Every structure is written in structure tokens, then in C-alpha cells.
Structure 1
Amino acid sequence: MAILLGGRATARATRSFRRYLASATVVSIPKADVYRFGDANATSTPVFRDLDWTVKEGESWAVIGFASHEKHDFFQMLLGHLRISPYPPPPGGLFPFLLPRDPQAHVSVVSFGNRRRGSGGAFYDYTARYGAVQEEDRITLRQHMFPETLSVDVVPPELRDPSSEAQVQVQLSPEKQQLFNDLVDQMGLKKFLDLPLIALSNGQTRRARILKAIWTQPELLLLDEPLTGLDVQNRPNLLNLLHSLHQSRSPRVILGLRAQDPVPDWITHVALLRGSKVVTGPKDIILHEEALRSKHATATTATQTVTNETGAVVADLKNVRVQYDSRAVLRDINWQIRQEGTTTGSGKTTLLSMITGDHPQSYTQLASRSSHLHLFGRPRSRIPTPHLQSLIGVLSPEMFDAFPRRPGMSVWDVVGTGFDGTFVPRGKYNVGSREDAAKFRSRDFVELSVGEQRMVLLMRALVGRPQLVLLDEVWSGMDEGMVSAAKTYLREEGVTKDQAVIVITHWEDEVPWGVQDGVKKLRLEKGHGTVAS
């Protein structure tokens, strides 16, 4: 039986079929080069070359980058901040499923790799979280989620509405209220809703940012390194939530991962970024080919060392507690750190702030037979904080964000601030000659990539040979080559027998040393600490 359609009917059927194809395609980039705005095709090197990428409804994608800037550039492309040439043709364009809506209003990105800050001379006080006294520091997570509930006194004058009341209660529909309650429960943030934002830990802050992004209900959410800095126990909950949201398209989710990150089971496809080349396809095929290619290239061998169990005690914590009213953050922590020792911990900012002296309660730990906090052989209360901090080298997400980026500050200048006092010319000369990096050391610090800035700040933390080195999520923002080079340096010559190292991480394979090197672990769960070899 044959069915004959008139011209108008055929046109309508064609349009309907095209709309169906568009609605089934989330992202469409058919064979294009990607440039920065202002670059000319004929003379400029594209950021991505011959990119051919299509994301269909029902597929689950992860974008994997080997260099620190690659994922950032890829997501910036999706946000319209890079030029795609030729641009995906109409009617669908870059996001066919959004037709006829505006992509800028329906595509969001949340990045957890440390972002490169612009130049600025101020060093802000990242220890304020331990004593929020300014009114603007008292804004809670709940108020952050619902700014309309803020007291008028908290809102900056230029943002105040003269007709507003002092306090506004948010009225949500039963469906929206249930959605909010479910998201808060699944993110593990219910008990933190009425805490000041500034008092949240790194992991809690990251979960709060994801919650805020989901609550705005975009159609497509780009999450860059969402697992970085998260406790082991919170990763499965977050991944399950993201999978559930992606399956229900509320919103669709595309993950950004580092090359060393495990790929979630529910991911079906990956886009592998290597320089200007992007390889896309089913996860199992792409990752299998990549594993064969790099099987021997990434192998490293740890240097064998022996921990000196009788080395001088750098930090001695006995029954240390940190408590805010009835909420105990640390409970009876017992921990000794010795010279020529390496300890790993699970990203607990409060505990580190006790050792560095940043936390006000480090002063109030009573010295007695049953409890004390001794640092470098003396009670914490008897050590001036500036002197204490001169004995400790630190690289952490907070330090990275807080470090001033003054115009004209060179790599050479930044490394030099790692010495006790101001600059030490001889020490700076030795660093520069050993690294054989005359060109690099003269570069402007603010012009470096995120990974390069972190490498420089790592050298700053090590160069003065402090008695204690704290490395908190040190590899965030670094690419695979940087991580490998830094681990090798730390194992072979970066740390001496007169130093102790604490590595704070949520991934054990990120620790430069292994059990054979005498590494000890401190695991923190619900405020309690357990030391294990």
C-alpha cells in the first residue's frame, strides 16, 4: 500500500522530523575548529582542532583533561566564550534540545579546580572562618540559598530595597519544598543549613555550591572536578544524586574529570582532551585505547626510605577537642608527628588550623597530664603565631586563593617569600640555579596557568626547609606531567631527614610515598581520629 502526501503535508512532516532530531540531541559540533575571540583562522593555532562531537539524549558524558587548562577551555567553549568555526548550523545550533530557548539562561557551570585569579595586591584572611565576627560573615547556608530571607542589616546598602521588611520568610510550593528537602538530605547538608557559610569546611562548601547550582534548575549543568576535596563517604552519595538527576534530565549533567580521577560507572561516553586534539566515543573503547597507549609511560618507582621512629616530635596532640557550643568538630584527637615522618590525613581543615595556630581554640587547649597541644616541643600558647608559622610550609586551597597577585610579581619573587623573613639572595640564587629555569623564574606570576601557579607555591612552601610541611589537596589544578614531576621531586630531594610532612588528601594514590616509606595514616570520621600504618 502506498501513501501519497501533498507538498504541504510533506513539508510539515519534514519539519516535525527535524524537531524530533533536534530534541534528541543535546550538543552538536559537526567538524569544527575552536579559536579564542580575535584569533584569525589563517594565522592562529586553534584551541581545539577538527572537533566532531555530538551528545545524544540518554548518553552520560565525562570530559577528561590531561593539562590543567584543557577542561576550562572546553567548558568555556560551551558557554560561548570561545569561537567555534564553522558554527553549528541552524536550526539546532550548538544546543538543539534547547530550541527555541536561550542557552545562556539554561546552561550553568560549576568548577572546583582552583581558578586563576586576576592581579591584586591584598592578602585576605582565610582564617576568618574560625571566628566570624563581621555581620556579612554571619550569612548562613540557608540564607545563601534564599537571599530574600536576609536581614536588611546584612544586605549591602547599595543592594537594599527601601520598601523591604527587615526579614522575609520564603514561601515555597509543596513540590519545591519537597525538592529542596530531598536535595539537602542527599547532599548531607541538612545539619549545616543554619551555620555561617564561612564556617563550612572545604568539602561542605563544595557540596553547597553544587546544591545552589542544582536549585537554579538549569537544563544542562557542567560540573568540573566535583569529587575534588570530597570525603570518601560523601562521593557515592553525590555521584548517585548526579546520576539520578541526569537520568531525569533535571538537569542533564556533563562531568569534568582529571586524567587521574576514576570515571563513575554510570558514565557511558568520554571526551578525551590532549592539547588541541579531542577524542570522543564510548567510555570503554576510549579508555581501553588510552590505557594501552600510556601503560608504560606513566609508571614510576617510589624511593625506598625508612622512617625514623625516634626523630624529634614536631607536633604532639593529646585528647585535643574543638567544640562550638554543643557541636563537637574534633573529639579527643591523639596524634604525634615526628621529623623524617610522613603522615596522610583525610582533608580536615580544622585539625590543620590547630597545628598552624590559625584556630583560636589552639590557644585554649589546656596543658595537663590528660590533654595538651605541643608544637615543636612547646605548648602552643607559649609560641607567638608569626614564629610558629615560620616553622611550617603550607600549600592549601585557601593559601592558593589568598596569595596576593601583585602586578609585576615574578616567579622569582614568589619563591623568595618562602624563606624566613624577607628575601634571602643566596637561597634564591641556589633555587634558580638548581632549577635551571632562568626564563621561567622571570615570568609574571599572574600570567601563569593554575597548575603552574600551584607548582610555584609548592616550591615556596619547600624552599626554606621548614621543620613541618603541610600539603593540602596539593595536586588540584595540576596536569598529569606536573603531578608526576612534583612527586618525583618530593621523593628524591624535596624533603630532608630533618623535616616532617603531612599530606591531606581524599585519594591515597595521590600521596608521593607509600607504606614501604614508613607512611602513617590518620583517618578522621565524625571528629574521631585513628592512626594506622
Structure 2
Amino acid sequence: MRFTTFRPPVINIVFGTFYRHHPGGSSIHPNPALFKNLNFTLPSTTESPTHWYIIGPSLSGKTTFLQILSGSHLCFPPSARSYPYLSMDEVPHRLRVPHKAIQYVGFNNDGLASSVTTSAYLSARYESKREDTDFSLRDFLLGNTELNPLKRPPEGGFNPKLFDRVVRDLKLAELLDLPVTFLSNGQGRRARIARALLSTPEVLLLDEPFMGLDPPTVAGLSPLLHGLASRASPRLILSARPQDPIPDWITHLAYLRGDCQIGAIGEKQVVLEKLRQYVREVWNGKSKEDESLPVHNLVHVGRTLTADGIDGEPLMGEKALKASESPIAQDAGVSRNIGEPIVEMNGCKVQYRGKIALGNWVQEIDGKKQEGLSWTVRRGERWGIFGPNGSGKTTIVSLICSDHPQTYSLPMKLFGRSRLPEVGSDQLPLTFWDIQARIGHSSPEIHQHMPRNLTVKEVVANAWADTFRSKAVLDEQAREKIKACLRWFEAELNPEFIKTSKLGSDAQESSDLQWADHYMFGELSFSAQRVALFLRAIIKNPDIVVLDEACSGMDDGVRNRCLLFLEHGETKSYSKNDDGSETIVESDASKSNNVKVGGLNENQALICISHIREEIPDCIREWICLPEANSGLPARFGVSKAPLGRDEKSWRRIWGM
């Protein structure tokens, strides 16, 4: 007769309600109850594997939910949340407290780790002079980031086999000797996951781990996480946006409502069927749509992520896709006026200590072969830059924005002028400040360096400032633009915003913007921070708008409103139909001739970087796809006839899929 030893759960929450502040205390900030009467259990045994996926739109509390699991936030009653397994003898002594045993890994652009000093300004990551605190990726992964030689190394010791496997599986082997400040956005994400895995926690909470990774890397990372979860080494809990596919090995789902409450929780198929039934009833008029559980956020849920890519249909099949798609504006297909060149690269090759990071190929230009990247951007053009992580996309942006020191020595011109004096020319070279004033830029790097103690209004107004911390010089037109943007996106930016029946942000009646002077950038959710940086990049109609992963972290609805605002400003808004779909209509501001912020014009160029086709603006037509680093293959160029966000065929051709 076989006996099985009972093993208590790692996390056990029974009818717990949570608060950010004590409900009996006084605070100027709202303090609503979070996840009322929550029941959640994470077993310690692997006999019946339970792999959790926490899904929710922006502001639904995904990060808050993961923090609650790790022991953060006040629990009422206090006994409702416990960690019985951590007191077992088989658990190492160093892991017997939740904050050690349960590790949270987020991607909120605060740097690779709080103990690692990151660059104080954007161009520092590309400079040859290194600081004492610029640790290599190897040191970062091993925890050797302390300047105090007497400080003890991290507990738990070093496992060479685990190190080799994690580095190999996450494709970090060739990057081990690089300073962490050299890593691209996607490489940095993989590095954070690797470091967390090497600390061998009991539970690893990954907050949107697939965000910012290219499609091939996402497909490769999912099986690795599955292997870890299957061995319970560590146990994994992942979060994702509604539009993100669900890994095929996930067994349990928790779908979060927009008010930090649970919409559905349990086994995957049971939850999907419950959500499917809800969508059907709303579409058929049998039940009223819950404002905290909007249908348009649900219809993409249900696609599956496999080792070969994304498979299957969402909850309601093709009808769901059509209902949830952001409609194309009526004038999206009009002919464009292409103007003068404003970015000219004539054989650019970026290299560090003999190692080529960009342009390691031979390109054919007008029948002649030329080494390096040759590329021209003209006024009125809308470019997409694609390629795997580490292929040089952000390096191209740093050259255009003149953050990269090699901009001075490379064969390139910005706005028809060189960075250095030209022989026989009376033109003065462009200064760094001249270039910065003519470019609007939103990226994970900008997000990382933006001071958290600026108010929401100061972040948007920073478009008119010379540096992140200098005072913006504003005229009356600039002030009106800032007010218009804050009103238009109040639902996305104001944590205290009370939803009305209006869809989108076409609500001009709200004139009180005190919240924008009250809330700090660091107090906003990740999605709201991205919206603020997006507005900062486009608000003053710069000559070049650069959007590098600008919409990552936003759910479908927020992203669609941002992209519509990019192209049309206040002139267009969304109108919601009875079946949950949306229609683009003329806005109230346009009808009353009160538009303060317009969309892109023919004198501007747009450059967009994204790994998610739905995050690509409809106006993008021209594209460049960079090859895998050091593959020797040239960059590929093309033009899409249809919006890439809706043209699956063109999107697959770009990625060679």
C-alpha cells in the first residue's frame, strides 16, 4: 500500500481582502478594497501541476495581484494569507520568508537591478569610457555587483550547471562580457529572468515576461518556462495582457476586471468558457455589458502560444477579431507628399573594439555594392524598423537622436547637415540641442531615465525642455496643447478618474486638471507612464517622431486610442457600437472647431519599432528589417500596401515566417 505525504501549499489565501493603506487610516489618496474575498492556492506538489496565468487590461491590478501573492499590501483578516510550505524542513533556511522565497520580476524600466548603477544619461551606454559600476552581464547574473569587497556574495552558492543551462536557453552566452548598459531592451528582459532563475526561489512571479521580445524569442522562451514550471524549480506565475496568447502548458487562469477585482478564476477551459458565455450574452442583448469587464478587451483572449508560434482562434473566432479591430480611418489610404531627406545614412557601420554591432553586411545601392547601412528617411514617410532582439534597432534610433557618440564620425546627415564641419561648406554643424529640439522620442530608455518625481503635467511639458530635469519653456499655444492632451487622455492618466458612458477621451467638459499637478510620474501605473511618454513624444509636432516600443504595456483599448491620436489628434474619436465593436467618427472637438492638437502632417517623418504588429500605426508603409546580429546578411527593405497591423501576410514576410 502506497502512502503519500501531505505537503501544504506554498501560498494559501482564503477569503482575503487587501488594501494599499490601512482602511481605518486617513489618506488623501483613494484606498479601495483590492480583490475582495480572494481565494487562491498554489500547491507545493508537482503531482497535479497548476501553472497560473494572470490576465488583465491596463489598470486592472496585475502587478498588484502578484505583489499580494508575494506578501505585499495589507490583508484582512491577517490570517487569510499564509505560506505554510515555507516552514517545512525541506525548504532551505534562507527561503523561509516570503520576500526571499517568492521573487517578483517586473519590466518597469527601473534598470536591471537596484544594486546596479545604470547610466545617468542616454549616450553613456555607448561611450568607450566605462565607470567602475558598469558591471558585465556575467557579474550581474552571478550577483557580483557590490563595490564593497567585504560584503558577502549572495546566499545559495553558485551552480555551474544551472548557470550554463539558463544562459544557453535564454541566448545570453555571447553577451556575458558586455556591460549591462550595452544590452538592448529585449536582452535586458532576458537577463532579469535569468538572474531570478539563478537565485533558485520557490516561486517566481513574472510580470508580462513576453513583452518587448521578438516573435522567435517568445516562441523559444515559453518551452523553457514550461520546463521550469513542470519541475517546480521554481514554481511560476505569469501575467499578461488580454491580447497576449496563452502558453499551451498553462492550466489555470485568473482574469482581472478593470476595478482590481477578479472577473473569473479557475481551470483554463472553465474560465475561457465563462468569458465566452459572457461575450455571447452581451452581443445577443441578453445581458448588459459590465463597465469593469468591457467586451472589447475579452475577444482576443484564447489564442495559444506554442513552440512554433501563435496558434488557434480567440474566444469568439473570426467575429471576435473583426469586432475588436480598431477600424481604419477613412483617409488612411490617401496619397502622401514625400519631401526632402531628413535622415541620410550612407554606409554606416557601428562597432565597439572591432566588434560590429550594426551594418556588418554589404548592401547593393544603385547597382553598386556598399558596406554598412544605407538608408534615407524623407519628410512624410512612415517607417517601421523590425528585427530580432540585439539586431541594432535601438542603435539606429540612438544615431538618429544623436545620443550615440559615433554619430560624429559616421557617413550620415541629419536635416541635410553633418554633425561635423564640412570642407568647403559655409553651413555650421548641427548641435546636439538643435537635433533634440526637432525629434520626439519615446522608448524604454526614455522611460528608464525619466525622473519619477515629475508631475504628470511636467512629463508632458518636458517636450519643450532641453533635458529631463530642466524647466520647459512654454508659450500660450504649448500650454493649450498640454491641457488638451491631459483632458483627452484623462481616463488613462488620472488614477482617480471616474468612468462615464463616453468611450475614448472625447470628453471636453472636464476642465479641472489639478490631478495632473498632484500625481507624480512614479505613482502612475506602467501603462499610464507609457501614455504620458507617448504624448511627450508627439505633442509639439516634431520633424521626426520616434516610437520605440512606445505602446508596450498598454492593452488594446489604450493602444488604439494612442495610435488614433498619433495620426489624427483631436479630430477623430471612437464611438462604441451595440455589438462591442468601435467606429471612428469625427470628434466633438472637431465639430466645434476647437482642435488644439492635430495628428501627423506631411512635414513630419515617423519611425516606429515594435515586435507586435497590432502596435504598429496604420500609416506605416515603408519598412526595414535588420538581420540577426553578425549573421552577415544585409538589411531588407519593403513597402506594405495595407496597414501592417492588419496585414498578416506582409507581417510574416517581414519576419521570414
Unpaired stretches in structure 2, ≥5 consecutive residues: 89-95, 280-294, 300-319, 360-371, 421-428, 467-471, 488-507, 570-598, 640-657
The residue that corresponds to 1:48 in the other structure is 35
CA shift in 2, pair 1:219/1:307, >3 Å:
farther
Separation of aligned partners in 2, 1:518 and 1:67: 25
Q: Secondary structure at the match of 1:50?
A: strand
The residue that corresponds to 1:414 in the other structure is 459
Whichever residue aligns with residue 128 of structure 1, its letter is A
Question: Residues 60 and 260 of structure 2 are in contact (CA less than 8 Å); yes or no, is this contact kept in structure 1?
Answer: no
In the TM superposition, residue 123 of structure 1 has moved relative to its aligned partner by 10
The residue that corresponds to 1:335 in the other structure is 375
Deviations 1:244-280 (A, max 9, x none): 1111111111111122222222212111111232121
Separation of aligned partners in 1, 2:209 and 2:335: 35
Question: Residues 329 and 526 of structure 1 are in contact (CA less than 8 Å); yes or no, is this contact kept in structure 2?
Answer: no
Whichever residue aligns with residue 449 of structure 1, its letter is S
The residue that corresponds to 1:520 in the other structure is 622
Separation of aligned partners in 2, 1:215 and 1:65: 28
In the TM superposition, residue 423 of structure 1 has moved relative to its aligned partner by 2.0
Determine if the alignment matches structure 1 residue 184 to structure 2 residue 258.
no
Q: Secondary structure at the match of 1:532?
A: strand
Whichever residue aligns with residue 347 of structure 2, its letter is N
Mean Cα deviation higher: 379-388 or 238-247: 379-388
CA shift in 2, pair 1:182/1:413, >3 Å:
closer
Determine if the alignment matches structure 1 residue 300 to structure 2 residue 283.
no
Q: How does 1:335-354 map to 2 (within 5 A)?
A: 335-346=375-386, 348-354=393-399
Separation of aligned partners in 2, 1:218 and 1:105: 7
Whichever residue aligns with residue 105 of structure 2, its letter is V
From 149, 152, 155, give the equivalent of 1:160.
149
The residue that corresponds to 2:19 in the other structure is 35
Whichever residue aligns with residue 109 of structure 1, its letter is Y
From 97, 100, 105, give the equivalent of 1:110.
105
From 443, 446, 449, give the equivalent of 2:518.
443
* Identity, % of aligned positions: 31
The residue that corresponds to 1:460 in the other structure is 536
Mean Cα deviation higher: 96-105 or 493-502: 96-105
The residue that corresponds to 1:373 in the other structure is 412
Question: Residues 307 and 341 of structure 1 are in contact (CA less than 8 Å); yes or no, is this contact kept in structure 2?
Answer: no
Scaled by the length of structure 1, the TM-score of the pair is 0.82
Determine if the alignment matches structure 1 residue 510 to structure 2 residue 615.
yes
Q: Secondary structure at the match of 2:18?
A: strand
The residue that corresponds to 2:52 in the other structure is 61
CA shift in 2, pair 1:349/1:392, >3 Å:
same
The residue that corresponds to 2:353 in the other structure is 325
Whichever residue aligns with residue 46 of structure 1, its letter is A
The residue that corresponds to 1:125 in the other structure is 121
Q: Secondary structure at the match of 1:49?
A: strand
Deviations 1:164-193 (A, max 9, x none): 9xxx9xx988xx222211111111111111
Comparing both structures, which one devotes a greater share of its residues to helix?
1
The residue that corresponds to 1:530 in the other structure is 636
In the TM superposition, residue 238 of structure 1 has moved relative to its aligned partner by 1.6
In the TM superposition, residue 26 of structure 1 has moved relative to its aligned partner by 4.1
Deviations 1:95-123 (A, max 9, x none): 344343333321111001346999xxx99
Whichever residue aligns with residue 235 of structure 2, its letter is R
Unpaired stretches in structure 1, ≥5 consecutive residues: 1-12, 366-371
The residue that corresponds to 1:95 in the other structure is 83
Whichever residue aligns with residue 435 of structure 2, its letter is L
Separation of aligned partners in 2, 1:83 and 1:34: 5
The residue that corresponds to 2:600 in the other structure is 495
Whichever residue aligns with residue 403 of structure 1, its letter is M
The residue that corresponds to 2:502 in the other structure is none
The residue that corresponds to 2:73 in the other structure is 82
The residue that corresponds to 1:136 in the other structure is 132
Question: Residues 439 and 543 of structure 2 are in contact (CA less than 8 Å); yes or no, is this contact kept in structure 1?
Answer: yes
Separation of aligned partners in 2, 1:441 and 1:312: 38
Whichever residue aligns with residue 327 of structure 2, its letter is T
Deviations 1:365-407 (A, max 9, x none): 1xxxxxx32222223433211111111000111112212244x
Q: Secondary structure at the match of 1:198?
A: helix
Whichever residue aligns with residue 512 of structure 2, its letter is A
Question: Residues 13 and 38 of structure 2 are in contact (CA less than 8 Å); yes or no, is this contact kept in structure 1?
Answer: yes
Question: Residues 113 and 224 of structure 1 are in contact (CA less than 8 Å); yes or no, is this contact kept in structure 2?
Answer: no
CA shift in 2, pair 1:88/1:529, >3 Å:
farther
Question: Residues 142 and 195 of structure 2 are in contact (CA less than 8 Å); yes or no, is this contact kept in structure 1?
Answer: no
Q: How does 1:239-318 map to 2 (within 5 A)?
A: 239-274=222-257, 275-278=259-262, 279-290=264-275, 292=279, 293-294=295-296, 295=299, 298-303=324-329, 304-306=332-334, 308=336, 310-318=338-346
Q: Secondary structure at the match of 1:378?
A: coil
In the TM superposition, residue 76 of structure 1 has moved relative to its aligned partner by 1.3
In the TM superposition, residue 453 of structure 1 has moved relative to its aligned partner by 2.9
In the TM superposition, residue 510 of structure 1 has moved relative to its aligned partner by 1.0
Separation of aligned partners in 2, 1:183 and 1:144: 14
CA shift in 2, pair 1:287/1:315, >3 Å:
farther
The residue that corresponds to 1:10 in the other structure is none
Deviations 1:338-371 (A, max 9, x none): 2222222237211111111111111111xxxxxx
Whichever residue aligns with residue 189 of structure 2, its letter is R
Mean Cα deviation higher: 411-420 or 486-495: 411-420
Question: Residues 132 and 198 of structure 1 are in contact (CA less than 8 Å); yes or no, is this contact kept in structure 2?
Answer: no
In the TM superposition, residue 428 of structure 1 has moved relative to its aligned partner by 2.7
CA shift in 2, pair 1:130/1:115, >3 Å:
closer
CA shift in 2, pair 1:287/1:391, >3 Å:
farther
Separation of aligned partners in 1, 2:70 and 2:20: 13
Whichever residue aligns with residue 94 of structure 1, its letter is S
Separation of aligned partners in 2, 1:84 and 1:405: 28
In the TM superposition, residue 489 of structure 1 has moved relative to its aligned partner by 0.9
**Larger relative contact order (Cα-Cα within 8 Å, sequence gap ≥ 6):** 1
Mean Cα deviation higher: 294-303 or 181-190: 294-303
Q: Secondary structure at the match of 1:135?
A: coil
Whichever residue aligns with residue 326 of structure 2, its letter is T
CA RMSD of aligned residues (A): 3.2
Q: How does 1:352-431 map to 2 (within 5 A)?
A: 352-365=397-410, 372-381=411-420, 382-406=429-453, 409-419=454-464, 422-431=472-481
